[in-house]
């Protein structure tokens, strides 16, 4: 890998984080679902109660990728875990080891924090990412289906 470095993002990195999120939304064909703004990221990532953390991978002072993650918890393991919400590397920088370096750093953080696992989701059609994750030893959780409640359904459930 080139001489890249990984660091935790700070509030001044909000514009670059938003750029990566929007680029990921385009890649995943979910542009219409991306409503994040600098203000919303600023308050949820760097406000009084941060809900997630961000790693940036940089070379020559320029960020080329990010990993956004947060802690979850395994009741069966009785240990925290790390959930990787987003991993993105600029298309021009793919194949240079940046994605693997970000995942390795997340694994180091997970081990250092006493986590029992590192996990994430991937879209079924995203074969390049699936192949990459399998090459790292990740295993698909085929017996599990993700469920989500959002929008009007979330509001209705909150009133049930």
pLDDT of residue 13: 98
pLDDT of residue 125: 94
Distance CA 34, CA 49 (A): 22
Is 141:121 a contact under the CB 8 Å cutoff?
no
The answer on pLDDT for 120 being more than 50 is yes
133 labelled catalytic: yes
- Mean pLDDT (the chain) is 95
Q: Where are the domains of the chain?
A: 5-158
The answer on pLDDT for 3 being more than 90 is no
The answer on pLDDT for 1 being more than 90 is no
48 class by beta-carbon count within 10 Å (0-12 exposed, 13-18 middle, 19+ buried): exposed
Q: How confident is the model at residue 119 (pLDDT cuts 50, 70, 90)?
A: very high
Helix axes 14-27, 38-46, angle to 10 degrees: 110
Give the angle 151-71-4 at the CA atoms, nearest 5°.
105
137 class by beta-carbon count within 10 Å (0-12 exposed, 13-18 middle, 19+ buried): exposed
Of these residues, 27, 51, 83, 133, which one is catalytic?
133
Is 81:116 a contact under the CB 8 Å cutoff?
yes
Query: How confident is the model over 100-110, as pLDDT tens digits?
Result: 999 999 999 99
Distance CA 63, CA 98 (A): 11
Query: How confident is the model over 29-55, as pLDDT tens digits?
Result: 999 999 999 999 999 999 999 999 999
In terms of DSSP H, where are the helices of 67-150? 98-112, 127-135
Summarize the confidence of residues 64-80 as an average pLDDT.
98
Domain 5-158: CATH superfamily is Gcn5-related N-acetyltransferase (GNAT) (3.40.630.30)
Rg of the chain over CA atoms, in angstroms? 16
pLDDT of residue 2: 52
| Percent above pLDDT 90 for the chain | 96
């Amino acid at each position: 890998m080139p001489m890249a470095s990984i660091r935790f993002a700070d509030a001044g990195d909000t514009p670059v984080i938003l750029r990566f999120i929007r680029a990921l939304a385009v890649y995943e064909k979910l542009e219409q679902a991306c409503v994040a703004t600098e203000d919303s990221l600023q308050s949820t990532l760097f406000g009084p109660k941060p809900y997630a953390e961000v790693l940036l991978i940089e070379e020559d002072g320029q960020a080329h990728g990010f990993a956004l993650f947060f802690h979850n918890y395994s009741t069966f393991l009785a240990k925290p875990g790390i959930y990787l919400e987003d991993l993105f590397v600029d298309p021009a920088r793919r194949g240079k080891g940046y994605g693997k370096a970000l995942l390795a750093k997340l694994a180091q953080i997970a081990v250092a924090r006493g986590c029992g696992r590192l996990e994430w989701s991937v879209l079924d059609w995203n074969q390049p990412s699936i192949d990459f994750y399998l090459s790292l030893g990740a295993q698909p959780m085929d017996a599990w289906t993700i469920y989500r409640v959002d929008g009007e359904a979330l509001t209705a459930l909150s009133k049930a």
